[in-house]
Structure formats: C-alpha cells, structure tokens
Amino acid sequence: MKFLNGGWLIKDGFDVKYAANIYTADIEEDRLTLFCPFGSPIHNPGMTLDGGILTIEVTSPREDIITTRLINFREDRSHKPAFVLDEDRPQVTIEETDEAWTFTSGRTSLRIAKGETIDFLYSYDGRPIAHSGWRAKALVTDPDGALHISEQLDLGVGEKIYGLGERFTNFVKNGQSVEIWNEDGGTGTEQAYKNVPFYMSNRNYGLFVDNPGKVEFEIGSEKVSRVQFSVPGQEMTYSVIGGGNMKEVLANYTALTGRAPLVPDWSYGLWLSTSFTTDYDERTVLDFVDGMAERGIPLSVFHFDCRWMKELEWCNFAWDESKFPDPEGLLAKLHERGLKVCVWINPYIGQKSPLFAEGANNGYFIKRKDGSVWQWDKWQAGMAIVDFTNPDAVAWYQGYLRKLVAMGVDCFKTDFGERIPTEDVRYHDGADPEPMHNYYTLLYNKAVYDVLVETKGADEAILFARSATVGGQCYPVHWGGDCSSNYPSMAESLRAGLSFGMSGFGYWSHDIAGFEDQATPDLYKRWTQFGLLSSHSRYHGSTAYKVPWLYGDEAVDVCREFVELKDSLRPYLEKMAVQTHETGVPMMRAMVLEFQDDPTCEDIDTQYMLGSDILVAPIFNEEGVARFYVPDAGDGAPWRNLITGTEYEPGRWYVERYDYHALPVLVRPGTDPRNV
C-alpha cells in the first residue's frame, strides 16, 4: 500500500500518524513492552492527554527469531484464522542502560535506542542485519476510512530481497509492489497462486509477517531506501529472523512455520496427464501408457484431469461411466503396469453435482450472511465452496476421497483454492472472511493430505497442489499453475519456482511444455529437459495431449533420455530431499542460495542448482543457445557437464549452442551425483 506523495507529503485522502518516541517501557522475564505516542514526543505528563499511543510488544518464539507486535487498539483475534507456529519460547535476555534496551534471543539481538525517535537495530553475532528508524512505524487511515498498521525496514546499498511466495515477476523483488493475496491469474502477471508473507535479504535476515490475510509490501517502491509492509486493522505482528547465511535463515523460518516431509520415491519419476479439456476414455489412457512403454520411456504416475468426472458436475467424485464403465478395473490395470494413479479434484461443488443438495442441506458449504449457500458461476454453474472450518464438512469431503483411495487412487491433484470470496460471507466457525481468503488453501490441502496419511501412510502421502500460504510446505508437492506454451512463460515459471524455494517450500513442479496453447516440437523438447531436471516432473496441458510421439520422433528420444537421466539421479534426489526435510533448504535452489558470497549469483534467475551439486541452465530459445555462469565451488576446480563430459573453469560466463540431447548440466567439482 502506497500512501506517500513523494518524500514529504501524504497522498490525498490518507491520514498518517507516525509513532514518535518511546515514552515508557515494561520489562518482564521474556517480554519487552514499549509505549510510543503518535505525532510528537512526550516530554511531560500533560502531553499524555488526548492522543493515541502505539504499544510495541517484543518477544521471541524461537531462538534467533525476534517478534514484534504493533498495536493501536487491541483486537479480538479469536475469530481470525492463525498460522500454526512451532514456538518453544527460548531463553532471552533483556538489558537496559541509559542509552537503550537490548533484547537478545540466541545470536540475534534487537537494540532499541532511547531518545527523540524510535530506532530498532537488529544484529546477528554483533553484525547489523536490519534497521527500522525515523517515521517507520505508522497508523494509516485510507480514503475509505479503514485503518492499517505499517512498518518499514531500511534497504541498504546492494541489499536485495527475495521470496514472498511463487512470484512470476523479477526474481529480485527490489522495486516491486507485492500484494499477498492468492489469485488465479496464470503465470504471466504479478498475481500469484501461492503468496507467502516472508522474504529474505542477502544481508542474512528474513522478515515474516504473521498475518494470513492481505499483507502489502513496497520493496523500494514507496521509499526507495526502505522495505515497507502493512496490514489492514489495528495490529501487526512480524518477526525478524537471523542466521549466519540465507540457508540458516530458511532453517530458522521453517523451524517456526513447518518443513516439508519426505515424499515417496516414485514421485520423482515422470507423471503423465490426460490434459484438461481433451477427450479421453479407458482406451485412450491405456494407449498413452502402453505407448510410453513401447517406446522405452519409464513412467511413474498417470494423472486423470477434470474429465474423469462428468462436465458441469465438478466435483461429484464419481467416474463418468460413459468413458470409464469399470474404473476399479482400469486402476488395477495401471497398477499392474507399475504405475501410481492421481486424480484431479477441487473444493467446489457445481449445482448440477449430485453432492450439491447433500452439502447444502447439511450446511457443508460457505454461506452468505443471510444463511443461504454462497454460490457463483465462475467455474462450474452455480457452484458452492466447501467450508473446511466445519468439521462435519471436512469429514464429508474426506469420505468421498477415502472411497477413491479404496478404488485404487494413490494421490490427488488439489487444484484451485484461490477464488475464495470475502464479501457477504459467513463461515461455520465465524472466521473473518478477509484472512480466510489466503488461509483457506491451508485447510483444503491439509484435509486431503490427512486422508492420504491415514490410508496410505505418511511415507506414501503426496499431493499435486496449486494454491498455498504459510505452512503449505507441510503438504507437498506444489506445481506452478497455468503457464503458456512459449519461452517467456518457461522462464517466468523458473523465476516463480526459485522465489517459491526462497519462501520455505522444498519441492516444486510445472506443466512441461506449457499449459495453454500448443507447444512447438522445439519448445516441447527444451521444456522436457528443464522439467525432468526439476524436483518433480509432469506433462500436462489444456487442449493438447502431451505424449511425446505427437511432437516427433526426436521428442520421443529426448523424453526417454531425460527420464533415464533423472532416474539415474534418484538416490541423489532422495539424499537432497532429506536435506530439504531437515533444514528447509529447497531441492531446486537459486544460485544465490548456494553461492551467497559470489555477487554474480545474486541476480541470476535463468539457471539453478538441483540440490547442492548439480547446476542446470535450461535453454530458452529456438537457436539452442545457452548463456550460463559457473561459480567457484571453493577451490578453483573445473565443473563437468554430466551429459557431455566437457569441463568448465569457474568464475566466468559461457555462451554455447546445444542440440536437443544436451544442455548445461554441470556437476560440482569433487562430487558424483550418480554415485551417492
């Protein structure tokens, strides 16, 4: 939210009250509470009349994390959804001198100066990492009369900001306005399916705003020397997370918000989808599966998208008998071929679905304030939305999933979850609709994931999810959403995946060759290389089938070669997944995360590390030209191309041309990912 008019003025219609200084403070064993007047500093008791104060509470939920709550009027938060945080309330120290208060948790400390202005200086091992100074903390009234709490941290020279969810815009977030609000906007806009109010700085700190609703960030875009973040309402809670490097920051953040579990080993293989609106039946499915086998292409998962159910009835959780007269028999045939089965679902029930009356009569759907079912036509005609705050609705929804598992379904693609209304809405548990907009996806994916843990066991549970918020990393895997079939969209997908990994999520996938439109054979082969060097790999589309033989004989060869390459790396990928599970560091890593001390890596978003030892630079053009950078792994030794064997000296850029059977896949010196 922008409310300034240049460096000195306020935008028309806005009112801004800045917290001035710290008038008094209370010190408890593990809490520091500060009382700060708005406007002018208080110098005598008479100045305490007829003016508001900002109450600032400083605590620590975990070691190396310092949490601040800014309060105008205290809010009743009992009706607001809240992220589940793993807090252990560590030992802290609070010291007071004539000049300042110092709050310390682990190796992270906050020095709060006494004086005429509010000055917060965060340090890690004595090294400054973040600072909030003059006119940073504010109460803002917008032109509609709504209140917002706003805070600012300095943005230093050379400082760069990463994360904030799966974002398709520039990887470095400096200069961007980012709204944390889940939307179904495809991959070509500033909207995002997976919004996470957490960013990391190359100054080795993270900033987490503990608010499941709308959080607005201005990263050098309101004041170019500051990161501003604001929330609607009377309170804001945020945490500064310290660490010795960005990996440690991620470890501390995910220790608080949750880490990705290990996923089944079969999930690393190739997933093949029917695609979205394509026609298919049992014969089509078996032709695709057998066609892959006949061409020597290993396949792990077959995915049935929407049309396993009848149109206009999504979701009814019933197989379309005109296409699949014997679904149990078909699933058995797929299992006999060594495959797992995934089916598409969403949290919406179309009015034509046989389940609509059942859900409506039992109060299982989100309602309007007058008690009627909340419906609209933006997807399925007259569709309702399952109310996952209602335990009975959760049990009802899960009951249909258990029936599918009993038939032979192994996992679910949890599509949608972003188009959640906030106007004229009433939830079963009375939850505030505004924060529920983002939070809904957490309840949705958890409900589905819990069924798989219950029926398959924790080691076998996995989703293919689109929407997410904080904590969603506990219910993997997520994919990138509706990308287009062109090179710019392929590149924006990679940028999004790298940002997602910088936001605490360990696994990520995307629609190989693009979702929208028809891929050219060239794009199909290049995206196949990229897709099969991602943590998870799936062919999927909208109106086009994605089996490789439809894109030429060479596409079949490329597909086979890169599936085999990924299968040869399976032990390495499983080892990297253990790191992800134990530390929160993603499997697909931005170059800056692995080589933070190399300034060249700070801006790179066209290549990545697959785990700690493999550098991948996808090719984004029809000419087959790759431009990539080779960092120094520490000893000046050359890197080796895993496919061609070519060696590359570190510390420089390369420009090379590749055919469809190779690309820059470089191995860190001294490692062998095929022998772990």
Of 227, 230, 39, nearest to 148 by C-alpha is: 230
Task: Give the DSSP letter string of 531-582.
Answer: HTTSSSEEE--SSS---GGGG-HHHHHHHHHHHHHHHHTHHHHHHHHHHHHH
Radius of gyration for the chain, computed over Cα atoms and rounded to the nearest angstrom: 26
Active site residue 336: no
Catalytic-role residue among 119, 482, 516, 602: 482
* Backbone phi, psi, residue 597, to 5°: -85, 0
Assess contact for 110 and 103: CB atoms under 8 A.
yes
What is the rounded distance in angstroms from the CA atom of residue 386 to the CA atom of residue 365?
Answer: 4
Give the list of residues 6+ apart from residue 311 with CB closer than 8 angstroms, or none: none
CB neighbourhood size of 646 (10 A): 14
What is the rounded distance in angstroms from the CA atom of residue 247 to the CA atom of residue 669?
Answer: 21
Q: In this structure, what token pair is assigned to residue 653?
A: 């850029």
Neighbour order of strands in the sheet with 100-105:
92-96, 100-105, 108-113, 120-124, 127-132
Of 420, 349, 421, 345, nearest to 384 by C-alpha is: 349
What is the rounded distance in angstroms from the CA atom of residue 262 to the CA atom of residue 293?
Answer: 28
Active site residue 415: yes
Q: In this structure, what token pair is assigned to residue 133?
A: 């100074």
Identify the DSSP state of 203: T
Q: Which residue has the tokens 């061409």?
A: 295
Q: What is the three-state SS of 344-381? A: EECCEECCCCCHHHHHHHCCCECECCCCCECCECCCCC
What is the rounded distance in angstroms from the CA atom of residue 164 to the CA atom of residue 166?
Answer: 7
Tell me if residue 521 falls in helix, strand or coil: helix
Indicate the burial class of 135 (C-beta count within 10 angstroms; 0-12, 13-18, 19 or more). Answer: middle
Q: Which residue has the tokens 């790179």?
A: 604
Assess contact for 124 and 106: CB atoms under 8 A.
no
Neighbour order of strands in the sheet with 511-512:
463-465, 411-414, 340-345, 301-304, 270-273, 537-539, 511-512
Catalytic-role residue among 210, 418, 522, 561: 418
Q: In this structure, what token pair is assigned to residue 34?
A: 């500060």
Assess contact for 316 and 355: CB atoms under 8 A.
yes
Task: Give the DSSP letter string of 392-415.
Answer: HHHHHHHHHHHHHHHHT--EEEE-
Q: In this structure, what token pair is assigned to residue 447?
A: 């409900």
At position 58, the amino acid (one-letter code) is: V
Give the list of residues 6+ apart from residue 524 with CB closer than 8 angstroms, or none: 512, 513, 546, 548, 551, 555
Q: In this structure, what token pair is assigned to residue 449?
A: 């994931």
Assess contact for 246 and 596: CB atoms under 8 A.
yes
Q: In this structure, what token pair is assigned to residue 235?
A: 């309170």
Where helices occur in 49-104 by DSSP H, the ranges are none
Catalytic-role residue among 216, 222, 313, 415: 415
Active site residue 482: yes
Of 511, 478, 507, 476, nearest to 493 by C-alpha is: 511
CB neighbourhood size of 536 (10 A): 27
Of 122, 115, 125, nearest to 151 by C-alpha is: 122
Which are the catalytic amino acids? 415, 418, 482
